[in-house]
Amino acid sequence: MVGMTEGPMVRFSRALLPVSLLLLVLVTSPLVALAQDNKADFDPYPLRPADTSSPRDTLRSFLTNASKVIEDRRRGPDARSAAHFTAHDRALQT
């Protein structure tokens, strides 16, 4: 009998699919936003030297890197990472 009504499990699974997809989107969207915020501090070229091609670039490089170092030191010793030491070295290079 093909024309019979659907069983309760089929109706339940059809109702569960949109709800589960909605929950998946709601749970993953904040995680994606957090991951994108962490990429703001990502330096694609961590070994590049400080920019000293002109006096203006030298000063800009020093101010940028020194402010990163000061900001990390204000947060405390736990906030220091490889980026902190890279910024420290670049500030000293200028």
**Which domain does 11 fall in, by range?**
1-42
pLDDT in tens, 33-90: 665 555 556 677 777 888 888 999 999 999 998 998 888 888 887 767 778 888 888 8
**Residues 83 and 69: beta-carbon distance below 8 Å:** no
Residues 64 and 83 in one domain: yes
* Mean pLDDT of all residues in 5-29: 77
- What is the C-alpha separation between 92 and 26, in angstroms, rounded? 45
**DSSP label at 50?**
P
Higher per-residue confidence, 54 vs 20 = 54
Name the domain count of the chain.
2
Residues 21 and 34 in one domain: yes
**Residues 25 and 33: beta-carbon distance below 8 Å:** no
User: What does the block give as tokens for 28?
Assistant: 């993953």
* Mean pLDDT of all residues in 21-40: 68
User: What does the block give as tokens for 72?
Assistant: 């990390």
* Mean pLDDT of all residues in 21-34: 73
